[in-house]
Structure 1
Amino acid sequence: MNSTLTIAKPATADADDIPTPQLLLQRARALLPALSQRAEQAARQRRVPEQTVEDLRRAGLFRVLQARRYGGYEMPPEVFYEIQMTLARACMSTAWIYGVIAVHNWQMALLDDRASQEVWARDPSALIASSYMPKGQVTRVDGGFRFSGRWGYSSGIDHCQWVLLGGLVPALREGEPPEYRTFLLPRRDIEVLDTWDTMGLRATGSHDVLVRDAFVPEHRTHRSADGFAGTSPGLAINSAPLYRLPFGQIFVRAVSSSAIGALQGALEVFRDFAGERVGDMGTRTAEQGSVQVAVAETAAAIDEMKLVLQRNFAQLMDAAERGVAMDIETRLHYRYQAASVVERCAQLVYRLFVSSGARGLFNDNPLVRHFLDIHAGRTHYANNPDLFARNYGGVLLGRANTDFFI
C-alpha cells in the first residue's frame, strides 16, 4: 500500500539569497500598519485574510525554521519568536497562526525525508496546520496505518495544504502502553468543520478537522519518543543543531510567545490612550499612581519575559551544538517558564484594562482586542502553568517526571 510518488527535491537555498534576521524583522515591522487595519475585519470573518498570509509568505517569514534543503533559512529560534512577538503587537491572531504554522516547518525536518519531499518538492511554500490532540483512531496495516478521528483547534487550517494530527498507535505487545505519534495528511484526506466562533483569537480560524479512514504511510508519521530523545529519522539528513532541540521546547513557545507581543501592543495603545485621557471626575489618567505602577510593571515584565526566552534558547542551542543532552530538570524548568507566560500576560493586560476606566469598555478601544486575545490564548493546554508547576515541583522534590513533551 503506497500512496507516494517519486519526486525530485527542490534546490537547496543559496546562502546568498537568505535574508538576515534584521531584514526579516524589518519586514515584519513593516506589516504592522496593515495588520492593525485588517484586524477588525479578520475578527468578523473569523480568519486571517489571504492577503496577510501572502504578505507573510512574500516576506519569507514562514521559512525561518525550514530546512535549507527545502528553501528554508535554518535560523536560530530566537529569530522566529521575535518575528512572532512583533506581529502580535498589531494582531495576535496573525501572530498565533504564524507561530503554529511556521513551527511545523521545523518539525518536518524530523520526519523521514520522503515526507518533506511530498510536501515541498513541488511547492516549497506549502503550509502545514496541526492538532496534536491524541484523538486519532489508528490501525496498523501494510506500509503504514489506517487513520480516522476528529480534532479541534486547528489554527490557520484554511490556509494550509497539509495537516499534522495526533494519534495513539496500539502497542505491539500486550500490556505495553500505546505510542503517541503525529500523522501527516494532505488536504484531500481531511474535512474542515466550521466550528470556530469565540470571544478571542477569533481570526485564527481554529476549526475542527475530520478524517474518515485515510491511509498514512509509515514515513509520514513522527514518534513523540523520537522527538524527546533526539532520535528522529530526519536527523540523518537535517544535521543542523537547530533540529536537535527538544520538540516540546520549540512547540510550546510557539503558542505562548505571541502573548508577549500582544501585551506590548496593549501597552502601546494604552500609553496613547492614558497619556491624553481626563476621566469623568476630572482626574488625568496619566497622573494616577496605580496606573503609573501598572505601566512600569508591564514594561519591565515584557522585557523580562523576552530575556528569559532568549536565555533559554541560547542555552538549548549551545547544548545542541555541543551534542550534549540538556538534563530533565532544566527542561522542566524551561517548560514551566513557557507555560507561565500567558497567565502572566493575562494578569498584566487586565491591569491595563481596568486602568482604562469605563471608557475602556467600548469595542473601539484597541486594548479590548488584545485583552480578549491574550485571555483566549491562556486556555490552550500548553499554557496552563499549574499542570507543569506540579510536575516540575514534584521532580524537584524527588518524584518521577510525568511529562515527556519537554
Structure 2
Amino acid sequence: MVRAEIMERQKEISKTPALDRIAAMKESLVAAGDEAQQLRHLPAWASKEMADQGLYRFALPIELGGENLRAREQIEIIEAVSAIDGSVGWCTQISSEINALVIRRMDPSLADKIFDDWDALVCSGHGPANGPNPGRGAQRDGDGWRLNYQGSFASGCHNANWNFLMGAMTVDETTGKPARASYMVPLGEFEIIDTWDTGGMRGSGSHDVRMTDCYVPPEHLLPFRSLAPSEIWANPTYRNPTHAVYNKAAVALGVCRGAIDTFIELAQEKTPWGTISKLRDQPQIQYRIGEAQATLLAARSFVMETQDRLEEHLGPLPENGGRLSPEWEYFWPALLACAHAAQSTRKVVGMINNTAGTTGSRMDSPLERQLRDAQQAANHALISYRHYEELGKTFVGHEQPAGYMELSRA
C-alpha cells in the first residue's frame, strides 16, 4: 500500500466528482490543447494540473491511491476531456490506462514504489521505430536484462517518469525470439526521439522512446505476459481484454461530442454566403444535426452497454466466483462497439465539418482540429476498421483469430 498521504489526498479529491473537476478546469484544458498544438506534446504545467486533479489515477485501485473506477466511469471521464480537446483527452486516456495496465501482473512492492509518487505517469512506445535506431534487442545480464530498443507512439512521454516495455516487442539477442520478460524503465534511462509531427492528435506527444545499453534490474521486471488478466486486483477492469480499446473509443466519442457542440454554437450565428437564413433555420442543417446526434448516441450506447455486460460477466476474482477471462460471446460485441464508435464518429465529424462550410477549415475553428483528431483516433489499430473484417469472419463460420482475446498492447 502507498503512503497514507497519497491515500488521504485521493480521498479528498474524490469528494468532488471527476466530471465536476473537469468542468472546473475547462479553461486550463483549452489552453493546454492550444499550447500542445505548438509543442506537439502536452505542456508540463498542464500535465501537472491534470495529475493534481487525479486524471491519471482514477483507474488505479484504492490501495494505490486511485478511484478504482470501472469501464463506464472511465469512459465518461475521457469523453469529457476529449470534448474539450482531443490531444488532451488522448493524454488522459493513455496515461490513466497504462498506469492501470502495468499493475495487472506487477509485484505489489514495485506498484507501491511507482505509485507512491502522486505524479506517477507511465508511457510506452511499442510501435515501429522511426528513422535510424538501435533496433529491439534485449540481452540477459545477470538477473536483469540490458536493452537497446526504440519504439514509437509513446504518447505523453514528455511528462512520464516511467516507461513500460513489453517483452513481446523485444528480441532476445541470444535466442532470436521475444525476450521472456517485460520491463519498467525509470525517467533518466529512456530518451525521447522527436518523431511525432502529425495533424491529428498533434498535441499528444506520441514520439519515439529509445533505451541505449539500458540495464533493467530484476526488481523492475514484469512477467512476459504482463497484460494478462490480473489475479490480484478485484475490479473486473483489470481482467477486461478491451481496457486499452474502450479508452480509445472514448476519445473518439468525446471528440465527436465536442464537434457537434461546436457546430450547434456556430449554427446560432452563421448565415452562409449566398443564403438569407442562419444555419439553425435551414432544414438540411436540421436534418444533418439530427442524424449526427442519433449516430453519436447510438454508438455511445453500444459501447457502454457492451462494457457493462462484459465486466458484469467477469464479476469478482475467480477465487470469489468470478472469471479470469470472458467468454467469446461477451468479448466480441464489446470490441465491435469500440471499432464502430471510432469509425461512425469519424464520419459524423466529417459531415459536421462539411456542413459548417469554410468555417470548418479555418485554423482558428475548433472544427478544424476536431476533424483531424477524429480521423487520427479512428486510425488507431485497436479501433481500426479492420476489426469489422476480423469479426465479420467469425459471423460466417470462420474461427476467431488466434490470440484475439489477448490484450497485447496499450
TM-score, length basis structure 1: 0.86
Residue of structure 2 in register with 1:294 after alignment: 288
Alignment of 1:341 onto 2:344: no
Among 250, 256, 268, which residue is 1:257 paired with?
Answer: 250
1:47 lines up with 2:48 in the alignment? no
Q: Tell me if structure 2 keeps the 8 A contact 1:67–1:109.
A: no
> 1:152 — aligned with what?
152
Corresponding residue number in structure 2 for 1:374: 374
Q: How far off its partner does 1:301 sit?
A: 2.3
Please state if 1:303 is matched with 2:297.
Answer: yes
The whole-number CA distance in structure 2 between the counterparts of 1:293 and 1:68 is 46
Compute the displacement of 1:68 (Å): 2.0
Instruction: Kindly report which structure 2 residues correspond to 1:175-186, keeping only aligned pairs within 5 A, or say none.
Output: 178=178, 182-186=182-186
Where does residue 3 of structure 2 map in the other structure?
10
Give the counterpart letter for 1:258 in structure 2.
Answer: V
8 Å CA contact 2:167, 2:178 repeated in 1: no
Q: Which residues of 2 match residues 295-334 of structure 1 at below 5 A? A: 295-322=289-316, 323-324=322-323, 325-334=325-334
Q: Distance in 2 between matches of 1:267 and 1:182?
A: 42
Residues 108, 115 of structure 1: 8 Å contact kept: no
Question: Could you tell which deviates more after superposition, 184-193 or 301-310?
Answer: 301-310
SS in 2 for 1:101: helix
Separation in structure 2 between the aligned mates of residue 321 and residue 100 of structure 1, nearest angstrom:
25
| 1:260-299 → structure 2 map (5 Å cutoff) | 260-284=253-277, 285-299=279-293
Which stretch shows the higher mean deviation, 19-28 or 301-310?
A: 19-28
For 1:114, the equivalent position in structure 2 comes to 109
One-letter amino acid of the counterpart of residue 111, structure 2: S
Partner secondary structure for residue 213 of structure 1? strand
Question: Partner amino acid for 2:97?
Answer: V
Match of 1:138 in 2: 138
- Check 1:275–1:71 CA distance in 2 against 1; reply closer, same or farther (3 A cut): same
Q: Which residue of 2 aligns with 1:4?
A: none
What do the CA deviations read for 1:278-313 (whole angstroms, capped 9, x no partner)?
111124322333322221122122222222222222
Secondary structure of the residue aligned to 2:208 is strand
| 1:60 corresponding residue in structure 2 | 54
2:193 alignment counterpart: 193
The one-letter amino acid of 2:195's match is T
Cα 1:205–1:13 shift into 2, 3 Å: same
- Return the alpha-carbon distance in structure 2 between the equivalents of residues 162 and 154 of structure 1: 11
Aligned residue identity for 2:94: V
Structure 2 gaps of 5+ residues are: 129-134, 317-321
Provide the rounded CA distance (Å) in 2 between the counterparts of 1:174 and 1:147. Answer: 15
Give RMSD over aligned pairs. 2.8
Q: CA deviation at 1:24?
A: 1.3
Q: CA deviation at 1:182?
A: 4.3
Q: For residue 376 of structure 1, what is the amino acid of its counterpart?
A: Q
Deviation at 1:116, TM superposition (A): 1.2
* Displacement after TM superposition at 1:215 (Å): 2.3
Deviation at 1:274, TM superposition (A): 1.7
1:126 Cα deviation from its structure 2 partner? 1.4
User: Secondary structure at the residue paired with 1:405?
Assistant: coil
d(CA) in 2 for partners of 1:15, 1:126: 14
Q: Is the 8 A contact 2:153 2:208 kept in 1?
A: yes
| C-alpha separation in 1, matches of 2:118 and 2:28 | 26
What secondary structure does 2:244 align onto? Answer: helix
Q: Are the counterparts in 2 of residues 65 and 73 from structure 1 also a CA contact under 8 Å?
A: yes
In the superposition, relative to structure 1, how do residues 17 and 289 fare at CA in structure 2: closer, same or farther (>3 Å)? same
**Structure 1 pair 180–395 and aligned structure 2 pair: CA distance change class (3 A):** farther
Q: How does 1:200-215 map to 2 (within 5 A)?
A: 200-215=200-215
How many angstroms apart in 2 are the aligned matches of 1:137 and 1:21?
46
What is the identity, as a one-letter code, of the residue corresponding to 1:49?
A: P
The CA distance in 2 between the partners of 1:254 and 1:97, in whole Å, is 11
CA distance in 2, matches of 1:244, 1:328: 17
Aligned with residue 88 of structure 2, among 64, 76, 94: 94
Any gaps of 5 or more consecutive residues in structure 1?
Answer: 1-7
How far, CA to CA, are the matches of 1:300 and 1:353 in structure 2? 17
Query: For the Cα contact (< 8 Å) 2:137–2:172, is it kept in 1?
Result: no
Q: Which moved more, 1:98-107 or 1:276-285?
A: 276-285
Q: Distance in 1 between matches of 2:379 and 2:97?
A: 20
Partner of 2:354: 354
Match of 1:188, SS state, is coil
1:215-234 maps to which residues of 2 (within 5 A)? 215-218=215-218, 220-223=220-223, 225=225, 227-228=227-228, 230=229, 232=230
Q: Take 2:367 and 2:53, find their aligned partners in 1: how far apart are those partners? A: 27
Q: Equivalents in 2 of 1:331, 1:158: separation in Å?
A: 34
Whole-Å separation in 2 of the counterparts to 1:144 and 1:378: 38
**Match in the other structure for 2:406:** 405
Instruction: Give the superposition deviation at 1:353.
Output: 0.7
Say whether the 8 Å CA contact 2:313–2:330 is kept in structure 1.
Answer: no
Contact 2:126 2:153 in 1 (8 A): no
Is 2:394 the partner of 1:395? yes
Given that 2:303 and 2:341 are in contact with CA atoms closer than 8 Å, whether structure 1 keeps it comes out as no
CA 71–38 in structure 1, closer or farther in 2 if over 3 Å, else same: closer
Task: Select between 183-192 and 155-164 the one with higher mean Cα deviation.
Answer: 183-192
Q: Is the 8 A contact 2:102 2:227 kept in 1?
A: no
Q: SS of the counterpart of 2:315?
A: helix
State the identity as a percent.
Answer: 20
CA contact (8 A) 2:267 2:280 kept: yes
Query: Residue 47 of structure 2 aligns to a residue in which SS?
Result: helix
Amino acid at match of 1:392: L
